[in-house]
Amino acid sequence: IMGNCSSPQLEPGDLSGAQAASQKLGVNWFTEWEEAKKAYKKKALSGDYKHPDEGGDGSAFVALKEARDLLERVHKWEERAKGCLGRTHPLAKERKARRATCQEQLEKLKAQEAAVEKTRQELREREERAEKTRQEIREFERAQEEGAQKMAEKMALLQAELKVGGMAVNVAIDAFIEATLTSSGDTTPTTPQHTPQEPSQHTSNNQQPGTRAAGQGGRHRGGG
């Protein structure tokens, strides 16, 4: 057991530089070593961190590799410290507590992100429904405008037909009247002219005996 407590092979500044090395790889300093190795491999294949033979920057590649080596030494040191007298090294405890805290915070962030995404989805659906309603309103208004325009055109056509029909009726009536007058001649009424007539001889003779009789009667009345 005591053999497990041999001094870890750490270089001066390894522990203090572990956080900077983790940042170099783009991970948290309390990240598990396996995750750190994956981050290193991914970063070593991109940009200036590529191997110089593949077109990368030599100094950047060396700095990235040194950060990886440092984290590997710290990891091995922690593994040896875990077996020392069956106790867990204080640094390992701290890292474990930090990982638990980080995991809890990560779960909260995921839950918040899910809630935000759900809200966004609801807003998108609401906006889609609103846009559909606006589209229906626009189509309804357009249909109303088209219907009103067609109705106005139809009314104008009917009015024009009525006007033309009325003129045709008037022309037909005038033609009928003219034809009727032409077929029956001039039917304009005339006032009859009465010419005074002279009394006939017969009338004069009839009146003379009476006159004479009246004269004779006067004479008789005078003689008596």
* pLDDT tens string 27-61: 876 677 788 888 888 888 877 777 777 777 778 88
Between 15 and 103, residue with greater pLDDT: 103
Angle formed at CA 14 by CA 8 and CA 18, multiple of 5 degrees: 120
Residue carrying the six token digits 């491999």: 41
The more confident residue out of 213 and 152 is 152
CA distance 165 to 35: 95
Q: For 96-147, what is each residue's pLDDT tens digit?
A: 777 788 788 888 999 999 999 999 999 999 999 999 999 999 999 988 888 8
**Phi first, then psi: what are they for 55, rounded to 5°?**
95, 10
Own/partner pairs, 63-69, CB within 8 angstroms, 24+ separation: 63/24, 64/24, 64/25, 64/40, 66/21, 67/20, 67/21, 67/22, 67/24, 67/25, 67/40, 68/21, 68/25, 68/36, 68/37, 68/40
Q: Which tokens in the block code for residue 207?
A: 């009146």
Q: pTM of the entire structure?
A: 0.36
Q: Which residue has the tokens 């991970």?
A: 27
Number of neighbouring beta carbons within 10 Å of residue 71 = 25
- DSSP string spanning 16-78? HHHHHHHHHHTS-TTS-HHHHHHHHHHHTTSGGGS-GGGT--HHHHHHHHHHHHHHHHHHHHH
